[in-house]
Amino acid sequence: MQMKDLAQTYEYLKQFLTEERLSKIEHFSRESSDFVLPVVEDIYQFRNAAAIVRSVEACGFHKVVALQEEYSFEPNLRVTKGADTWVEVEKLPRNMESFQNIKDRGYKIVVVSLENNAKMLPEYEITEPIALVFGTEMEGVSQEILDFADETLAIPMYGFTRSFNVSVAASICMYELKQKLIKSGIDYKLNEEKLLRMKILWTVNSIRSGQQIFEKYLKENNIDWK
């Protein structure tokens, strides 16, 4: 899809938005980033799924990769508080091919774990895009994934408890990494094409029957969204 088609599609869809919603989309999209890509493994508690989505969006990251095996990633909408409107959830099978797929997109695989001489979050320097992997609620990250990962990252613990709930860990990591990016001088925000695609998705999600309107427009104008 060419930039011209993206721009025209967004211009068409904007007419269905209120001025208030359009203003919010324009404002918050400027801070969006995919420099940190949260990856969650087989999350089965819908409240945890929802809390992760909510924290990711609040920190200005708008995509989550959910690796599924036994359980489907289904956030509780009462807990997300509307954050699911703004966060794209990509569902992939929980296997090593999916991790390789993510790595092939240009992400360093960083697992949140105390294993393998983990670097502590306060001292961690983020210099390139990372896929931040959180394990299952009960078992954590598998040894196979630990062996595949480029790095491990840990949150310092100061009490008897040796781990945070997965949604809490995600919140802490996403917030801290966002602060590091803001202070780094790195160009971590979305490029023009990604930004337009995201604003289109946000607009579609904001319109009643938005998906049908969007698909009809693409068909009538012979536009391939991919």
Whether residues 67 and 146 share a domain: the answer is yes
Domain shared by 145 and 200, yes or no = no
* Out of 26-30, 110-114, 222-226, least confident range: 222-226
Q: What is the domain extent for residue 163? A: 34-189
| 82 pLDDT above the threshold of 70 | no
Please check whether residues 79 and 147 belong to one and the same domain: yes
Say which amino acid occupies 109: I
Mean pLDDT of 76-92: 71
Task: For the chain, give the mean pLDDT.
Answer: 90
Residue 79's pLDDT band (cuts 50, 70, 90): very low
Same domain, 109 and 146: yes
At residue 81, does pLDDT exceed 70?
no
* Angle CA 171–88–76, to nearest 5: 60
164 pLDDT band, cuts 50/70/90, is: confident
Whether pLDDT at 120 is above 90: yes
223 appears as a binding residue in the annotation: no
Residue 3 carries which DSSP code?
H
Residue 154's pLDDT is what? 94
My answer on whether 1 and 61 are in the same domain is no
- Are 202 and 136 part of one and the same domain? no
Q: What integer pLDDT is reported at residue 80 of this predicted model?
A: 47
| Average pLDDT score over residue span 135-144 | 77
28 lies in the same domain as 38: no
The residue type found at 71 is: Y
What is residue 186's predicted lDDT score, i.e. its pLDDT?
95
103: pLDDT strictly greater than 60: yes
- 112 and 217 share one domain: no
* CATH number of 170's domain: 3.40.1280.10
- Beta-ladder partners of 111: 133, 152
Give the residue-averaged pLDDT of 88-111. Answer: 94
In this prediction, residue 47 carries a pLDDT of 80
Mean local confidence (pLDDT), 149-176: 92
Please check whether residue 158 is in contact with residue 142, taking contact to mean a CB–CB distance below 8 angstroms. Answer: no
CA distance 144 to 96: 8
Distance (Å) of CA 141 to CA 62, 78, 94, 129: 23, 28, 12, 20
| CA pair distance 28, 85, nearest whole angstrom | 13
pLDDT per residue as tens digits for the range 192-217 = 999 999 999 999 999 999 999 999 99
152 in the same domain as 181? yes
Please give the tally of structural domains in the chain.
2
| Percent of the chain scoring above 90 in pLDDT | 68
Residue 196 shares a structural domain with residue 127: no
